[in-house]
Amino acid sequence: MENSYLDQGAAIREVGRGYDILKQLHGLLWLKSRNGEEAVHTQELAEPLFREALQALNYALCIMRPGVGSVEVKSEIVVLESGSPAYSSHESVASYDSNQRIDNGRGKRRRVEENSWINNTSMPYDDGYQWRKYGDKKISGTDFPRSYFRCTYKEEYKCTAKKVVQQTSDGETPSFRVTYTNKHTCNFRKTISPPTSQSSSFGSIEQDSGINQMPDIMPQQLNQSSCLVDANNLEKIYANASMVERNWEWDIESFLMDW
């Protein structure tokens, strides 16, 4: 299979998205180190960003790899907490599933011909998008029911994104196989905006422009912090973080622009 320019464009966008999220993670690390103490639950904030970045990069790799259908990108995040065993590894496997069947109207099924990919994960329900469950089915040969989700904005924005969550193992860190079908066309995602002099409020659900997304953090996660950082301090920290990253930032961004 030959990649089209459209596919390359999509891949570039996904790589850009992953890069952007990693930048935000870098800012988070600064947030912690500059405050000296555990001012923010860094892990709690960083984890969804890691997952988001991995998902974007996995998807981009799927697009870019020749011979789609055999793509298998494995990546793993291990977050270590001092004084405790490794926080569970988070495994993510993206692949196109050429044998999967999808719907074609009420009850119709056919072999996949459009975009779908699989993500094996231990946290299937928080991927930054809003989903509405529309079905639940016990599948023969499996120990756990399969759940069917569609994008919440299906009607409003004709978003055709869907996902199917199948638990594959139980235990302390249960794993799930999440099959995504179709990319989101609604572009709605949980985001926060950096505080500005005009606004110090955190947290909004806004339409993202595709590449300059802010961290995928819910406002309540910030409010749960034992020591809140006021808006002015946070603004300074964001500014400092972006100064530090400027050295390596240009190389990647110019690459993404030239590619």
The residues binding DNA (CB under 7 A) are 100-111, 130-137, 139-141, 146-148, 152, 162, 164
CB-nearer residue toward DNA: 41 or 146:
146
**In the complex, what is the shortest distance from the CB of residue 245 to DNA, in angstroms, rounded to a whole number?**
36
- Percent helix, percent strand, percent coil in the chain, to nearest 5: 35, 25, 40
CB-nearer residue toward DNA: 101 or 236:
101
CB-nearer residue toward DNA: 99 or 198:
99
Helices (H), 104-230: 154-157, 219-223
CB-nearer residue toward DNA: 60 or 102:
102
In DSSP terms, which residues pair with 132 in a beta bridge?
150
Q: Which residues of 83-105 are buried (b: 16+ CB within 10 A; e: fewer)?
A: eeeeeeebbbbbbbbeeeebeee
**In the complex, what is the shortest distance from the CB of residue 124 to DNA, in angstroms, rounded to a whole number?**
12
**In the complex, what is the shortest distance from the CB of residue 105 to DNA, in angstroms, rounded to a whole number?**
7
**In the complex, what is the shortest distance from the CB of residue 194 to DNA, in angstroms, rounded to a whole number?**
27
Dihedral-angle region of residue 96 (phi above 0 means left; psi in -120 to 50 means alpha; beta otherwise): beta
Check if the beta carbon of residue 92 is closer than 8 Å to that of residue 75: yes
**In the complex, what is the shortest distance from the CB of residue 14 to DNA, in angstroms, rounded to a whole number?**
24
CB-nearer residue toward DNA: 29 or 139:
139
| C-alpha–C-alpha distance, residues 97 and 62, integer Å | 11
